[in-house]
Amino acid sequence: MSVVTQTVSLAPLTSVDLELLLAWRSHPDIYNYFKIQSGPLVWEEHQSFWLKRTHREDFLILLQEEDQTRKVGSINISKLNTEYPEIGVLVGELSIQGKGVGKKAVRLALNRLKELGHNKARVEINSKNHPSVRLFTTLGFVKENTTSTADWQTYVLESIP
Amino acid sequence: MSVVTQTVSLAPLTSVDLELLLAWRSHPDIYNYFKIQSGPLVWEEHQSFWLKRTHREDFLILLQEEDQTRKVGSINISKLNTEYPEIGVLVGELSIQGKGVGKKAVRLALNRLKELGHNKARVEINSKNHPSVRLFTTLGFVKENTTSTADWQTYVLESIP
């Protein structure tokens, strides 16, 4: 029996990866769960979003299998100037969705938040995005009733483990 | 009135761009027009295809606007050991499809074929892919009746200009 070792890590996302991020964000299976996007993204908007980011860090999600490492998605922590920084995550390589890569990436993002001195986090999830709801609740995030709408729900983590 | 200068060029596609190529090839608007692919691509197949290529060259399509250059698609010439090398092209940045970038890229690929000593080229096009049919016929490609099926049609160029 052969066992494939899989390791997930994060690396800073830089401007050389903007085309890759655009391509991931342009897939309907991904942008359907975005709050502010209803179709393929235009480069100018994508770049403008990138240049205007503040109080935010963006990372590539790297997957190492055996001796090979590849880029499979991206994760960001934003609103770093608030008590509840926000997490955004996407696994762009569609065929590996649901295999725990996103969850491992979120754990690493939570570590990074702790490193920056944060103890709390929040995430907004499209209520139809059941895999994402499962991912975050498994990690201890709890639905915040007051701020939720039918389409979007806020989940908070009061104490990063 | 401001005029944006757009220049299309090709650069060799290397293994560092495989994730980007995978992301482009995983979009339904793109793979729906592929002959051998009916869903998002699995990394292992993608890499295996890459490693097994022979008699073929792959390029990134680069688009320069003002002082900025970005990767917007890919083009390949294959069957370079035959009299009629084949062209495959995709514009991965969906929002710029139909704006002449693919056509400019095909012209550059035809130049490359000439450089390699070829005088003829062919392309197989999904018969529903009207923009692609238009692109290649405008460049002088002619439908080859004998080898065409209902779904796929072969177009040939008997003399690269």
Residue of A nearest to B29 (CA): A27
In a domain, A105, yes or no: yes
Shortest CA distance to A99 belongs to which of A127, A128, A69, A73? A73
User: Is residue A43 less than 8 Å (CB to CB) from chain B?
Assistant: yes
Q: Give tens-digit pLDDT for A116-148.
A: 999 999 999 988 899 999 999 999 999 987 655
HEC letters along B5-67: CEEEEEEECCHHHHHHHHHHHCCHHHHCCCCCCCCCCCHHHHHHHHHHCCCCEEEEEEEEECC
Task: Report the domain count for chain A.
Answer: 1
Contact status, residue B145 vs residue B109, Cβ threshold 8 Å: no
Is residue B1 one of the residues assigned to a domain? no
Cβ separation of B27 and A26 shorter than 8 Å?
yes
Task: For residue B156, give how far its alpha carbon lies from the nearest alpha carbon of chain A (Å).
Answer: 31
Cβ–Cβ of B95/A20 closer than 8 Å? no
> Would you call A26 an interface residue with chain B, using a CB distance cutoff of 8 Å?
yes
Which of B17-26, B40-49, B71-80, B96-105 shows the lowest mean pLDDT across its residues?
Answer: B40-49
- Give ipTM to 2 decimals: 0.88
pLDDT at A157: 98
Minimal CA–CA distance to B105: which of B66, B80, B73, B145? B73
Residue numbers of chain A with a pLDDT score lower than 70? 1-4, 35-39, 146-149
Interchain pair B24, A24: CB under 8 A: no
CATH number at residue B64: 3.40.630.30
Range of the domain at B96: 6-157
For residue A38, what are the contacts with CB-CB under 8 A and spacing of at least 6? A31
A40 touches chain B (CB under 8 A): yes
A9 three-state secondary structure: strand
Give CA–CA dist A82/A17, Å, rounded.
Answer: 27
Mean pLDDT over the full length of chain A: 91
The predicted structure's pLDDT at residue A84: 97
Exposure on the CB side of residue A116, measured as CA atoms within 13 A: 21
Q: Does the residue A1 lie in any domain?
A: no
**Residue B98 contacts A, CB cutoff 8 Å:** no
* Tens of pLDDT, residues B102-112: 999 999 999 99
Which pLDDT band holds residue B148 (cuts at 50, 70, 90)? low
